[in-house]
Copies of this chain bind each other. A is one copy, B any other.
Amino acid sequence: MPDAQAPATLIALDWGTSSLRACLLDAAGAVLDRRESAHGIRALPEGGFPAAFAEAIQTWPEALPVLMSGMVGARSGWREAPYAETGPQGVGLANLAAALTDVSDLTGRPAWIVPGVSTRGPSGPDVMRGEETQIVGAGAVEGTLALPGTHSKWVELRAGRIAGFRTSMTGELYAALSRHTILADTLAPPADAAEDAAGFAEGLAAARALETPGDLLGAFFSIRARALFSELPPGRTGPFLSGLLIGAEIAANAPRDASPEAPVGLIANEALAARYAAALTAFGLPSRILPPDIAAAGLHAVARAARLTGDA
């Protein structure tokens, strides 16, 4: 437990699409108080950004600087915080700290937004917003990090800097397929953990059997066909689709030379991290689950590097 008497020095806001997490931090980065609301940038209350902001930090000391990360800095956010580009050198803590966007005029107090990060791969540009702060918070320095979710990120770290990354629309595609296609009629919740694990393993195996990208379009329909012929019980169809998508994502993105000495680092909530760890194991790839909820630690590190709190 942090010492309740330690003075607060920073307010950290992890402000995404569907949630807003606020932390009151002391000089060591310990969390003195925390709040969470559903007021993500797509679900703002009446009064918009200022109202959500005021609610999130109410009663906390007024003089404290506020540092924010996530979609709040998107073009559709409160103010666009330009991307830091990986380029040949990569993007590290110092680059993020040097490129904060000042939003004091919007908030009426000292406040900044951390930049997102952009990169350019063989298939064009890619972007992240919020994950860069989690990565800094994780303190990892080398190798591959996966941040699975709505838009999964696979990140290459070199010497503590983000060298490059790639996004996979895995979670959002699962939601769209399972709710808005014929599969919605087919999917039923798994009866228990065993059924969930069995369907997931079958989906992973199906992903490994795919040959071309277009085979995936066939595999989606085949879930329906298998269910029609009772070859896939309804409770296994959702886990099967999850395994199919996550398996395809891993086959396309995970480093084949991951090893016990250089495992894939996983940043996600407990359930999702466990799912990806199981999938990586099925591919023969070691992984290591990093502590969740590290955005506040990342914001604290950026604030110190930018000397926002005057306590560095």
Contact = CB atoms under 8 A, between A and B. Distances in A.
Contacts of A210: 213
Given A214-B250, A214-B252, A251-B214, A222 B176 contact: no
Interface of A is mostly: helix
A124 to B, nearest CB: 5
Nearest to A166: B218
- How many copies the complex holds: the figure is 2
Contacts of A124: 222, 225-226, 231
By size class, the interface of chain A is: 35 or more
21 contacts: A76-B185, A123-B209, A123-B215, A125-B228, A125-B231, A151-B221, A167-B225, A169-B182, A172-B181, A173-B181, A176-B180, A180-B180, A210-B213, A212-B213, A212-B248, A213-B251, A214-B249, A214-B253, A215-B252, A216-B248, A217-B249
- Which 6 A-B pairs rank lowest in CB-CB distance, beginning with the nearest? A214-B252, A214-B248, A168-B217, A176-B176, A167-B221, A210-B213
Given A124-B225, A126-B222, 17 more contacts: A122-B209, A123-B206, A123-B209, A125-B229, A126-B225, A167-B221, A167-B225, A169-B181, A169-B221, A173-B220, A207-B213, A211-B252, A212-B251, A213-B215, A213-B248, A216-B216, A217-B252
